[in-house]
Amino acid sequence: MATVQGLGWPSAPGATRAAPGNGSILTVRQASGIGWPAPLAETRAPDVAPPGAGPATAGPPTAGPRTAAPGGRATFPTANTQWASPSAVVSRETDTPARDLYPRPTPEAPSTVPDAARLVSRETWVAVPTAPAVESPAPAGASPSGALARPSSRRVLAVANQKGGVGKTTTTVNVAVALAQLGQRVLVLDLDPQGNASTALGIAHPAGTRSVYEAIIEGRPLRDVVQPVPGVPGLSCVPATVDLAGAEIELVAMVARESRLRRALAGYREPVDYVLLDCPPSLGLLTVNALVAAEEVLIPIQCEYYALEGLGQLVGSIDLVREHLNPDLWISSILLTMYDGRTRLAAQVADEVRAHFGDKVLATAVPRSVRISEAPSFGQTVMTFDPASSGALCYRDAARELAAQVGATDGEAEPGTDGRHSPAVEAN
């Protein structure tokens, strides 16, 4: 059968094509949607008025009894039925009418869509609330509107998980930007040789760029390699370059190899509220350096079984570092990422993690979002690329939860008395 367009079906009603092999003729009386022919006995109102016909009246399908069409599908009667646009149906193959979540406006009835809603998808007609306007960082010495309370001392968090693809870098950069937008002073250290955090923050990192490699291996002061993040006041970044790929081999022969990053951070005297360490997907010396330098660990967990299985290994490694190298290290937060509420697996993984770690699991779960994945290709985070998206809203909520946490848990010490960080104080 010859093809013309769509998925290979003839597009014009009444078109005939010779079927290959037997010379028979296939007659298609009506083509619908993206090229698939509708059943011969089925009729439906056209999406576009035929030539010479008057304009169609906007509005949802006319109410009336539904009749069964061949193949077991139900259709509306064609009498007095007019469609507002092709988007009035969810699927052109099934002719399923869209749910009247928000009825289409007519001259007699104005739109009922609330101002605080927008359509995420014309296929699903799911409405989400519009994000509030992003707060502009206040000038130095001023308290921005809606700013978070600042901790009385610097908080150093390692964003770690030895499993790749769970959202470590995405969580690091988006939480960092969210904190900066909420009035905090934030420093991001990119410890992954891939340099994805640097890319997402708009920092160029070709070979030869001053990076975290010089700070760890060569002992260069951290202030010499820090770069401000363009477009986000209050946020700075130490980029990673390809040189960092060989750092673990060079660290093997060095004295006090596990604590070189901690010494570099100790020499950084600039005022910073949060330091986020983006760890590589391994438990090598770079990750160990981050765990020794940090006081807290933020663990992103993908809502799938493999990520849950690797969590036990990570907790064991953190316990070893706490026992031998950094007694102040503790797991402060666990963030569920890539959560898909349509699947039972995601809910089961979330329940398992919450049952085991309790209040350490943030109430906010970051959903799967195309906008989160698109943002790095523009050299941005989703917080600046699409502040109204579901991913940006969730990361902003997660940043607020993270900032509200103070002190240790599990009975280690009372908040503010364990030497990690005292209860937060109001922003200056």
Per-residue pLDDT reduced to its tens digit, 157-179:
999 998 888 999 999 999 999 99
Does the structure show a pLDDT above 80 at 32? no
Instruction: Decide if 260 contacts 251 (C-beta within 8 A).
Output: yes
Kindly indicate the confidence band of residue 146, based on its pLDDT and cuts at 50, 70 and 90: low
Cα 36 to Cα 9: distance, rounded to the nearest angstrom: 6
Are 180 and 232 in contact by the 8 Å Cβ rule? The answer is yes
Backbone φ and ψ of 199, nearest 5°: -60, -45
Q: How far apart are the first and last CA of the chain?
A: 74
Q: pLDDT by residue (tens digit) across 216-273?
A: 999 899 999 999 999 999 999 999 998 888 888 999 888 889 999 999 999 999 999 9
Q: What does the block give as tokens for 40? A: 């011969």
The backbone torsions φ and ψ at residue 347, rounded to the nearest 5 degrees and listed phi first, read -65, -40
SS3 153: coil
Question: pLDDT-based confidence at 308, cuts 50/70/90?
Answer: confident
C-alpha distances in Å from residue 329, one per residue of 186, 290, 297: 20, 11, 7
Q: What is the DSSP string of 56-113?
A: PPPSSPPP---EEETTTEEE---TT---S-GGGEEETTTTEEPP-SSPPP-SSS----
Q: pTM score, two decimals?
A: 0.64
274-278 vs 155-159, strand pairing mode: parallel
Q: What is the mean pLDDT of residues 389-418?
A: 70
Which residue intervals of 182-229 are DSSP H helices?
A: 196-200, 212-216
Give per-residue pLDDT as tens, 73-117.
Answer: 444 444 444 444 444 444 444 444 444 433 444 444 444 444 443
Whole-angstrom distance, CA of residue 308 vs CA of residue 295: 23
- Estimate the crossing angle of helix 168-181 against helix 390-404, to 10 degrees: 70
pLDDT at 155 over 80: yes
The CA distances from residue 334 to 299, 309, 362, in Å, are 5, 15, 6
Q: How far apart are CA 413 and CA 406, in angstroms?
A: 11
- Strand 127-129 with 117-119, pairing: antiparallel
For the chain, the structural domain boundaries read 1-38, 155-404
Read off the pLDDT band of 152 (50, 70, 90).
confident
Yes or no: say if 94 and 73 are a contact pair by the CB < 8 Å rule: yes
Superfamily for domain range 155-404:
P-loop containing nucleotide triphosphate hydrolases (3.40.50.300)
Contact in structure between 166 and 306 (CB atoms under 8 Å): no
